Amino acid sequence: MHPLLLIVTGSPSAAVVRRHGDFVDWFLRGTGLPVESVQVVRVEAGEALPSPSGISGALITGSTSMVTDHEPWAERTADWLRHAIPTGLPVLGICFGHQLLAEALGGRVGPNPRGREIGTVRVRLLPQVSGDPLLGGLPHELAVQATHLQSVLELPPGALRLAESDMDPNHAFRVADAVWGLQFHPEIGAAAMRAYIEEKREVLVREGRDPDGLLAEVVDSPWGTTILERFAALCAGALARSRQ
């Protein structure tokens, strides 16, 4: 079986990693895949991306970097996406990955004019999500985790907007049949989300936010695992169809 490619674009802080694990741990747990079924490429460390023909799909993580910084490793990853997507490869971008995917395909990314979105947020699925292989059939409103300063300000040409929140109208989109961007974090659980908020406590206070109120609103959600398991199954199904 071809592995699922996990494109790692950063990592949580050392304190979060010590207590809660890193992105690789979270995505392995969320997808339910064994470690031998996943190929990890740390692009921010300069590792090279493989040929799309040797993988079943690609999942792009979040990052502390900003897409608008146009770092060389991010530009190389965007170029890889532009070449991989026309092959029909399933792709799922998360947070930074969502933004990088949008910009690579002709969208626009920048500071969220509504400010920082952090904590457990309510994301509303739009009517056009009906029949979507990844998000279709889920409740109209999902409690999910989010933490970001930048957003997709303009979707790529031809993209279908799938979800919104009070802070971000472009929380999810799809391009073609099997390429998705999600601004929220399906891989992050409540404990890790609380750790993110605690790390940002002083910054949040300076921004006029209430860290204790945000902490009190954090809840676990089953929907992140559901979405990641669906994506893993879609990748396996796409690979099987390509071999028929």
* pLDDT number for residue 244: 44
Of 171, 139, 141, the closest CA to residue 155 belongs to: 171
**Which residue among the candidates 20, 148, 171, 185 is catalytic per the annotation?**
185
Q: Note if 229 is an active site residue.
A: no
Instruction: Quote the distance between the C-alpha of residue 197 and its chain's center.
Output: 18
Which phi and psi angles does 86 have, rounded to 5°? Answer: -60, -15
**Which residue among the candidates 2, 20, 95, 171 is catalytic per the annotation?**
95
Alpha-helical (H) ranges within 64-172 are: 72-84, 96-104
Residues 124/140, Cβ–Cβ less than 8 Å? yes
Give the chain's domains with CATH numbers.
Answer: 4-115+150-188+222-242 (3.40.50.880)
Which phi and psi angles does 146 have, rounded to 5°? Answer: -150, 150
**Judging by DSSP bridges, how do beta strands 150-154 and 160-164 pair with one another?**
unpaired
Q: Note if 95 is an active site residue.
A: yes
**Which residue among the candidates 148, 171, 187, 235 is catalytic per the annotation?**
187
The 3-state DSSP class for residue 62 equals coil
pLDDT digits (tens, 9 = 90+) for 187-232: 999 999 999 999 999 999 999 999 999 999 999 999 999 999 999 9
Q: Note if 83 is an active site residue.
A: no
pLDDT along the chain (244 residues), means of 10: 94 90 94 96 97 96 96 98 96 98 98 97 97 96 97 97 98 97 97 96 97 97 95 82 52
